Structure 1
């Protein structure tokens, strides 16, 4: 973490490492309270079961949110082959199982390669996409069905970094709007065995990287240090 001086109220771009199970809105609320500021927003939602880079913009830099979230994203994580869940991740229970003993690493890599470039992708029903004015996840948790339109996205890189039994570890570089959970579903369908996402970490948005991010505790400590400095040196 770099202890760069920030003027949180006037405007700053903050790189945070989102904790597991927190929603992106949870992080916004916690950050707003910790910094005691009025204007704040995040540049690109992360699911509760994902961790990694979440960019917060305060003050005048909230005007840059759309610009930042439109940039290329990079993720690492793990798919589990041979099982599916309604949410395509661990939010819901496994609802189907299929054998995978016929699969080879070459076949899995070939299937992954087929997703490179511009593709049409349908977001998960358990997502924040709006359907007739309601969030899709609200409909899904209520047990309703909904037709979600596909979107054109770009997969620039889909690297399988390791295969351990039914677990496939990956790195993906993609465009805005890509759902890695949907990529898990589509890869599983392509292989004929099903798959779901068991782990996801966002490691980069454009030029902003996870290794430069700080925890919420570190951010709060940084604010305290800066306040102590200003108290000792008024007008600095």
Structure 2
């Protein structure tokens, strides 16, 4: 089954593709876009849900999103038009790591998509090149909240603990203005939503040729979560400003 299709189905009931609930998303946007008229860029935007929520609640904001998935961008465009914000959203089908913008932005967003740019610190480097003076970055990434198994590291990467993650961000020249550590409820709700949505789709589409693959994938990912990384994986979201030199 195509990986992009799996992701699209899995996130059908959790369009913010990270372990964050609606209240946490709103708080992060409030800290990242305090004026309400910011120009925002999302690197690896997927269905552009961060941008859509920002535009819906801030009628003077303008946004651009970058992603390689044509299907995700098409859904983002339809949703933007349905919400009445399509005239303030530009979407680019391109690799976020090589995106070259014609302007600078007040806010650069990359939550749950740092893998598309090579990891957390390369993401911050890429965002710096798009950021206007005095701008802010909204970034979200995983960390180890306990000692991972080798299998967990193979699944999710060679992450640091929370303190080390924040220290690395600071050492790279960024100061946290605000942060949110996802709760156990947010982490669990995200995983249940993803693999439950994929399994439910398979059960509801018995004639689809991808049904068996979807069921198997949902079961495998659910087991990886419950037995592999549930007790050692955390997620932190940060609103960052450039540290004065």
Structure with bigger helix share is: 2
TM-score range, shorter chain: under 0.3
TM-score calculated relative to the size of structure 2: 0.26
> Which has more radius of gyration?
1
Structure with bigger strand share is: 1
